[in-house]
Amino acid sequence: MEPENWAPDNSGASGTGHWICVLIQSPAHAALGPFLTYRSPKVLPPGTLVRVPLGKRETLGVVWQSDALEATGEIDPGRVRDVAGTLEGIAPLSAHWQQLVSFAARYYQRSVGEVALAALPPQLRELSPAQMQRRLKRPASLVTAKNTTSVPPLELSAEQSMAVTQIESQTGPFLLFGATGSGKTEVYLHCVQKLLSDDPGAQALIMVPEINLTPQLESRFKERFEPMYGEQSVVSLHSGMTNPQRLKAWLGAHSGVARIVLGTRMAVFASMPKLRLLVVDEEHDPSYKSSEGARYSARDLAVYRGQMEGAKVILGSATPSLESWHQSRPAADGGRYVRLHMPSRIGQTAALPLVRRVDMNHQPRRAVFSLPLLDAIKERVSRGEQCLVFLNRRGYAPVLHCTECGWKSECPHCSAFRVFHKIDRTLRCHHCGFTERVPRACPGCGNPDIAPLGRGTEQLEEHLAELLSDVTRAGSVTTGCPEGLPLRIERIDADSTRLKGSLEAQLAAVHSGEVDVLVGTQMIAKGHDFRRITLVAAVNPDGALFSSDFRAPERLFSLLMQAAGRSGRDAALGAQSEVWIQTFQPAHPLYAALKMHDYPTFAEQQLLEREQAAMPPFSAQALVRAEARTQEAAQALLNIARTDALDAQSGMAQWGEDWTQVLEQITLYSAVPMTIQRIANVERAQMLIESPSRTALQKFLGGWQGALHAARAAPQCKGVVRWAIDVDPLAI
């Protein structure tokens, strides 16, 4: 249906009205072009949301800058179609928002329309103009302050006060390097409160890496600000919300009614016309880098957006990314960020938890838990304290295998093993989702004695329950728990929290003291404020030490330090908190730095190694990935495009000296299969591109897109499904 106040002009083959450029959602590999031309009966400003016909269907589009009409080339006026309608009642997206989208598309080598439309809420893309009108006419709840008293700000420590003062007096961007428990969140709250009190229309964006960290942060912000600014002043934006919820939150931010937006990486594209402050909490987290569609880094885009819109940017972490740490070196050495240091925990004179390294070479063979660690857990539980056991692998075991014929539980659709989940007796592929019941006997030889190989959190939970079966709970007046009850062990991972509300219920049980031992993956290793946990144990973290990925040590150190930060957050218990690391490599420099909680030393050592190897942040990288029905076709696409780039007779050589100068700064490796080369029966290959100059890499990628499009038409590339460029990849 179309709005009653407008009807398209169909008065002839060429029609009358105004030609406009419209962005639609089309990936770069589709070669459809960045813009499509439509006809409108009236001039529509850039940023206007419209419904346009595309083939036999209608889709959402965004009117773009008028000078983009020059990019449409020669178009037959008779083929230009009319827009189907305008989404009235929604103000055009701002020029700053359009600039952000254009930059992201250009830098990450994606279609502008793909980035722009993916940044809008799904329901906005689905509703017709008439449906949108009805949606906007619904009576909104009053945005007035509640009759409750807001939670007063906490008194800042000396370190917090100094950080807040520097943020207020300087332009930034700021890297807030604070130990776990040092009160970084309270610094964010003070900065937001000062901003909103000084500027009546200002908005703030607070970003977290994962959905499960949003509720607790949302609760703190609502307690502080809703009594002062109204019920709609704080909204969330993340993929865990329903489509109507996301649309309502987006409209609140777009209209300026929502003063504070909390969200995951998608929130960096939120339309906030009066944005004045951006906070990226746990800025080191790889979740800020998108792994599908437009592979953007929300952290880097937040820095760009802040500089573009004149908003202050705060990057917070106890273990900053090496890129951010490098950028926060002194300005005389080329640093661009202001480093703010908060090394002390709030309410404690004691240092961070004591780190103990357990040499598993001296423990019984195949032991999962060392005897000293078991004794320590029993001692903590007997005192009414809580323990956290961390293993970053869900399921019962990574693989089932047969000792007779060597069969393993491979996925028939992927080049990976299906994980054994004992709780429902299934073999489940974590890549394509293919699930089967566990066979009664080996499919290869009929041997009934098939066994799990390796361990996951399910097995860890089961084994720990067996080892602690004779331990009972200590009585507690605080929780109302009588003495002598069986120990309660809770597991939190992606499997145990699949049902809606299950994560919140499990976390509530931990916070209330009902849980004695918490077993889980990285979901519980960062961001949570568990007040009663005094012991954290990491089981088998050594795998990352020998990874082919040069970023693996950085991720491991960050994850272990974040997990360690869950211990001893209560001032009364902090002096006796401990972190146990079970390792076969106790003398490794990474564990030595972790024992001292010495991130600066670890970071400088890693940066020195990367500089010597010309790795990021001392060089720029891009990965080009191709997916096809056969591995040969996927590699052929990349290798043909590579040859075309290096061939002096190719079309790109017509750039002349400029292209030659660009190639001199580019290293193009040959195509190879990806680590997991087949997922859901689609073969995957990749090609690495390196350059000491980010500018040269961008010029190369921009000029090379045509070669990738042309290579797809080659006979060897038959069966290619798609290709994508990943700029600044996190995994190689």
Q: What is the CATH number of the domain that holds 365?
A: 3.40.50.300
How many structural domains comprise the chain?
Answer: 4
d(CA 595, CA 181): 17
d(CA 527, CA 220): 13
Residue 442 lies in a domain: no
Kindly state whether residues 298 and 358 are assigned to the same domain.
Answer: no
Kindly state whether residues 108 and 169 are assigned to the same domain.
Answer: no
d(CA 259, CA 206): 11
pLDDT tens-place string over residues 671-718: 999 999 999 999 999 999 999 999 999 999 988 888 888 898 899 999
Please work out, in degrees rounded to the nearest 5, the angle formed at the alpha carbon of residue 63 by the alpha carbons of 60 and 64. Answer: 130
Kindly state whether residues 607 and 624 are assigned to the same domain.
Answer: no
Of 590, 612, 634, the one marking the end of a domain is: 612
d(CA 696, CA 662): 6
Kindly state whether residues 532 and 548 are assigned to the same domain.
Answer: yes
Residue 180 lies in a domain: yes
Kindly state whether residues 496 and 564 are assigned to the same domain.
Answer: yes
The secondary structure element, H or E, covering residue 115 is helix 112-118
Dihedral over Cα of 263, 266, 268, 274: its sign: negative
Lowest mean pLDDT among 402-416, 441-455, 641-655, 681-695: 641-655
Considering only CA atoms, which of 642, 626, 577 is closest in space to residue 725? 626
Q: Which domain holds residue 108?
A: 18-137
d(CA 395, CA 260): 38
d(CA 142, CA 154): 29
Model confidence at 328, in pLDDT bands (50, 70, 90)? very high
Residue 12 lies in a domain: no
**Token pair 């009319």 in the structure block, residue:** 82
d(CA 243, CA 690): 40
**What is the gyration radius of the CA atoms in the chain, in angstroms?**
28
Model confidence at 77, in pLDDT bands (50, 70, 90)? low
Residue 50 lies in a domain: yes
Residue 59 backbone phi and psi in degrees, to 5: -145, 165
Kindly state whether residues 590 and 536 are assigned to the same domain.
Answer: yes
Kindly state whether residues 209 and 319 are assigned to the same domain.
Answer: yes
Question: In residues, how long is the chain?
Answer: 732
Kindly state whether residues 168 and 74 are assigned to the same domain.
Answer: no
Of 572, 588, 612, the one marking the end of a domain is: 612
d(CA 203, CA 663): 44
Residue 146 lies in a domain: no
Kindly state the greatest CA–CA separation across the chain. Answer: 87
At position 528, the amino acid (one-letter code) is: H
At position 709, the amino acid (one-letter code) is: H
Please work out, in degrees rounded to the nearest 5, the angle formed at the alpha carbon of residue 624 by the alpha carbons of 621 and 628. Answer: 160
More confident residue, 132 or 381: 381
Bridge partner list, 402: 450
Of 563, 584, 612, the one marking the end of a domain is: 612
Lowest mean pLDDT among 108-112, 159-163, 475-479: 475-479
Kindly state whether residues 260 and 210 are assigned to the same domain.
Answer: yes
Report helix, strand or coil for 132.
helix
d(CA 307, CA 324): 16
Residue 427 lies in a domain: no
Kindly state whether residues 107 and 191 are assigned to the same domain.
Answer: no
Query: CB under 8 Å to 26, separation ≥6 — which residues?
Result: 32, 33, 111, 113, 114
Model confidence at 652, in pLDDT bands (50, 70, 90)? low
Residue 440 lies in a domain: no
- CATH number, position 690: 3.30.70.360
pTM as predicted: 0.89
Residue 648 has pLDDT above 60, yes or no: no
Paired tokens of 608:
């020195």
Kindly state whether residues 246 and 320 are assigned to the same domain.
Answer: yes
d(CA 149, CA 226): 10
Kindly state whether residues 603 and 630 are assigned to the same domain.
Answer: no
